[in-house]
Chain A
Amino acid sequence: MANKIDRVPVREQAPKVRATNFEEVCYGYNAEEAQLEASRCLNCKKPRCVDACPVGINIPAFVHQVLDGDFKGAYDTISQDSSLPAICGRVCPQETQCEGSCILGVKGQPVSIGKLERFVADYNQEHPEKDTSEIQYSEAHHNNFRERIEERRECIRQMRSGFVKREGDAAVKVAVIGSGPAGLACASDLAKLGYSVTVFESLHKTGGVLTYGIPEFRLPKKAVVEKELDKLKALGIKFETDVFVGRTVTIDELMDKEGFKAVFVGTGAGLPLFLGIPGENLNGVFSANEYLTRNNLMQAFSKESDTPIFRAKKVCVVGGGNVAMDAARTALRLGAEVTIVYRRTEKELPARAEEVHHAMEEGINFQLLTNPVEVLGDENGWVRGIRCIRMELGEPDESGRRSPIPIQGSEFEIETDALIVALGTKINRLIADTTPGLETDRKGRLLTTETATSRKGVFAGGDVVTGAATVILAMGEGRKAAAAIHKYLTES
């Protein structure tokens, strides 16, 4: 039977080799591997994976198109709901979303949905014109699924006809502020609807966190991010970089003077949090944002780049999320011996399972149940170490996670030349402060009802509304906002 086979392993760079380079860690599936893996899908009547996907991709449909060898069709299916499949296939926390709800995961390993999505996106990137329906099937059991695939295809056709219709008026201008996942998803849907969309970005490159935050070894910039962005440009979306909305131009000016009928705010949660402990401004303490921006956006790892990056022998990273893993693995590749300091246990690490696994494989040390209480400096004000305290887990807090409690008298020192702080981010209040009538909560998050802010014609989504979250959640919100903007523009 089709489903008795194990999950098809994905090929990766060997840990020792990849620890010294910035090339992508995971090679992804080839066509045969993808088709074999796709054959594991049970094609459930009520697919839980679709419900668990923040953008509701019709996962069983595309998986069976892969099995069918119809890679182009699979791409079309995914594209119905996702503007950036090559990116999501790489950075989504699949284990808590689609794969986490896959029925096969109850007793064994779930279908490798993320890797299949990535394969479909990469394959279509590499074979833009080729009709893949002629490809020979590598597995005979495809016949068992033919009937259901036909059903799915009909369903897709219906969805597509409902969506792609260009109901929007090309003369209506919509501004999207921020070119990260939320903004790109929103811009993409609006452009497909036929609106004239301009995306404003404060940095010199588009992509937001995809460009400045997530490292090359996890998300290649030229081969993946830029290609996905090119596809959005081909939809007619205009991008204007070096525009910091709130300073360069205000939302009022965009609407009153430049004629934008609606605005989407997807500016993210950009301001890094620091520790609030003594010594945090010593030389050698960095936010993960700074460290990653220097390396990813400014390419400081390359000799060609004019931007410097601090080269330390020993680096500590505090935090346990994806950003902490990215910073740690970047420092490792720049030649440091790296320790991650996290106050809960391995089980609570908020990072994607794959990133933690990769970090451990690459030789990153983990000091768990540990929290820094002071950064120690030498006589010239450079970091020489951190003083930490051991923690134990107490009762669950409001997030449902057991809250860490310091163990009195357990303080100890870790020698390090640099400390990278990856404890999350907060919201830049600039947009709220420069846009009259835009309401926020105490933390500066924009208040919205169905993505509409308190200001008429202004919508928002992604981290600027939710606080720091994931790429795919931001994309989901961006898409919802696009639908709300379309409704607003057609009804007003």
Chain B
Amino acid sequence: MSTVNIKIEGIPYQVENGLTILEAAKACGYEIPSLCAFNHGECNAASCRVCLVEATGARGLVASCVYPVAEGMEIKISSQKAVEARRRSVELLLSNHNKNCQQCDKNGQCELLHVANVTGARDDAFAGVHSETYLDTLAPGLVRDTSKCILCGRCIARCNNAHALGILGFENRGFKTFVSPAQNRSFAESPCIQCGQCVNVCPTGALMEHSEIGLVDAAFRAGKHVIVQAAPAVRAALGEEFGYPVGTPVTGKMIAALRRLGFERVYDVNFGADLTIMEEGTELLHRLTEGGTLPMITSCSPGWVNYAELQYGDLLPHLSTCKSPHQMQGAIIKSYWAKEKGIAPEDIFVVSVMPCIAKKYEEKREQEKVNNIPDVDAVITTRELARMIRKSGILFNRLPDEEWDQDIMGDYSGAGVIFGVTGGVMEAALRTVYFKLTGKEKEEIVFTEVRGHEAGIREASIDINGTTVNVAIASGMRSARVLLDEIRAGKSKYQFIEIMGCPGGCINGGGQPYVRSCFLPEEDDNILDTYKEKRAQALYSEDERQVIRQSHNNPQIIELYEKYLGEPNSHLAHELLHTSYAAREKFPEK
């Protein structure tokens, strides 16, 4: 690593060569306010003009987010000229911004408000008319409110990097510019997969999850039996909302909080994950031994399912017919559990806490209903849960650690836990398939070949009793499409593929806490590179702590089949736990 000598405010430092001024300053302990710059050049438009500083060797001020450091460079962050310029860029943004901060769900995590504070922006400077704005609330997953948009372009970059989809772009020009899907369509009328990756990076309240907190409140008011189930990835990230270091699992406190919010039962979706493995593992074995459509592809990520229906309608037979874990568990709650408790399914309201916003779309699908009753009634994200907790006055950090409700569906295996990270479903399924094919447990439980925490493709060949199973894993549609195109071309060598919508899997889902280095002074400079790994680690360590680590060894799962479902893939299992898919128009008639 070559280094260069620079000075910041006259103080000498040695920094890595090739860094931008912004990155170098961070390494030296300075946070230069910035908005459009994101994640080491993931978005490097240099368009917000907030991060301006003085640097020797440049004419005028430079955008520190793109300007590289050089030997001998002297940087002034706090010169009057730079301070004034930064403040004025922010003031101009504010002059065209819908400043109803009190009603904005982003308040507290809004980077615009943050830089406004830091730069000392005057509230009424440069007042004038606002651009025409648009509000899109049609999609179940996410809401776009251009009155809050500062046109930083981070969402556009993220959608492209994650999926090569290019859903979002700039429309019009000059003062009339706004960000939207093509032709100012709704997300719901475009090939958006409602993954929420763009929401994760939006600095303001312009892109937000479509909140369902109101639905939950209404269910409580209506006196329903409100049951909550939380997905594995939530516990690995919720703590970040309350100041815990990234990667701190907060399972016990989360359960305690859910109880205090008034939920009648607090269940872990891991039970549903174990159930999914039983069904999906059996389905895979069937396909392998009876000549079904191969490779079989996992179906528990609704962002991915959306993508398949919109872009690869011809490959839908490759998808496992299994519902996703929380949908399965919802169906079981409204059938088996309801029967055991003597409660009518109509009186039950199932809330899923998810790291995901595509689940909000999934939950409303016609194919996710049994006897016209939806399996799940509301999906709230990790972020929405944090908001509910704060709103209720619960001091999260002071909560005791509590346990899941144990009745009927309280047990879970470590296999279910790792669903939350890319490769996890594959690993969980392999543990069970191995057992089914060999009649014994694999000694080395961990399938390291399939582990990871980033986007991109991983593959492995697993030898099970002389049968080689070729598997591949992809997360983010940019990598998934490589595997899909191989299948389309008849060149796929795999039998089983796991695909997750979000890069890195659910730990990096579109409903997870925002990771913003400006709000995380305690974390390392590279937190935007390392948070996925840290969250993944939280899940792997929970797997290791479990006594039962294979889905088929979960006693309550065994009991569920014995008492109710019969065999995996039985007729009743199909009715409750399996679903179907249909190709969709990318740009339906409005």
Question: Is chain B a partner of chain A in the same complex?
Answer: no
B residues whose Cβ falls under 8 Å from a Cβ of A: none
